[in-house]
Amino acid sequence: MKARDIVVFILLAAGLAARAQTNAAPAAPTNPPPRSVPSRQIPVAGSPFDRFLDADQRKVFHAAIQANQGKIQALNSQIRQLRMDMAELMFAEKFDEDGFRAKSEAVGKLQTEVDMLMVGSFRQVRPLLDANQIDEIRGQPPQIHPAAVPDTRTNTATPPTP
C-alpha cells in the first residue's frame, strides 16, 4: 500500500468510528444529577383505595386523612431523622449496637403511631363499605407510604475511606 492509500484508509476508519459513536445510545452518566425530591404529603386524591370507593366514600376517607395529615407528617419527619441517624451509626468507626437498637426501636414505635392514624382514617369509611368493596380492598397487597422510606440522597453520612 502506498502512503496515500494508508492515509485514506485511516480517515475512512476514523469517519466510520465517529459515525458509530453518534448512532450509539448515549452512555448513562456515572453520577446522574440528583432528582428533585417530591413533597412528602400524604396522597389524598389517588389513594390506593380510591378505585374501590364511590364519591361519597372518597370524601369521607379524604377528610379523615386530611385531619391527621399534620400529625402523620411530623411522625414521618421524626422517622426519617432517626433513619439518617442510624445510617451514621452504621458507618461510624466503632459501631454502637445499643444506640442503633434504641433508634431502631424508636422508629418502630413511631411507625406504629403512623399506622394507627392511617387505620383510624380507614375505620371512618369502613361502615360505608359493602361486602364486595371490603373483599376487593382486602385482596390488595399492603401499601408502603413513600414518606416512610428514608431518602438516602439527603443523608450526609459517608462511609469511611479504606
CB 68 within 8 A of CB 117: yes
> pLDDT confidence of 6, banded at 50, 70, 90?
low
Q: Of the given ranges (72-76, 111-115, 122-126), which has the lowest mean pLDDT?
A: 122-126
How far apart, in whole angstroms, are the C-alpha atoms of residue 154 and residue 162? Answer: 23
Residue 14: the pLDDT is: 53
CB 87 within 8 A of CB 144: no
Give the global pTM.
Answer: 0.57
Over residues 106-122, the mean pLDDT reads 94
CB 108 within 8 A of CB 70: no
CB 21 within 8 A of CB 84: no
Residue 85: the pLDDT is: 96
Residue 51: the pLDDT is: 85
CB 113 within 8 A of CB 74: no
> pLDDT confidence of 81, banded at 50, 70, 90?
very high
Over residues 31-50, the mean pLDDT reads 53
CB 125 within 8 A of CB 48: no
Grid coordinates in use for 136? 376487593
> pLDDT confidence of 29, banded at 50, 70, 90?
low
How far apart, in whole angstroms, are the C-alpha atoms of residue 48 and residue 51? Answer: 7
